[in-house]
Amino acid sequence: MLFNQFHDLICGCHVDEAFSSAMTRYGHSELVASPILQKSLEAIISQIDTRGEGVAVVVFNPLGWSRTDCVECCVAFSEPDVFDIDVRDSAGRSVPCDGIRVDRYET
């Protein structure tokens, strides 16, 4: 990955072959890092107490500052006709939420 930080690659004044090689190296870096990241996140999640009423959804903020971005996720409910959604943060404070779409799957 650091090899791709060469000054010609950063500013974009390189030949197509150099770009192609850089993209291949980035792809390899992602291939190596992805399972490590997955195992790390699973280790953190395993330490979070998700017991209690409702369905637990864990959201990670990889940045070093607070964010107020929207998070979209799919949640499966065991009960039919769930319409009221109450989202709470780790301190139990209510977080604004909105159900965007409801899909029903018959089993």
User: Chain-wide mean pLDDT for the chain?
Assistant: 82
Residue 2: what pLDDT? 59
**Global pTM exceeds 0.75:** no
Residue 45: what pLDDT? 93
CB 48 within 8 A of CB 55: no
Q: Distance between CA atoms of 14 and 10, rounded to whole angstroms? A: 9
Mean pLDDT per 10-residue interval, the chain, length 107 residues = 61 71 87 95 92 85 90 81 80 85 71
What's the token pair of residue 18?
A: 């150099």
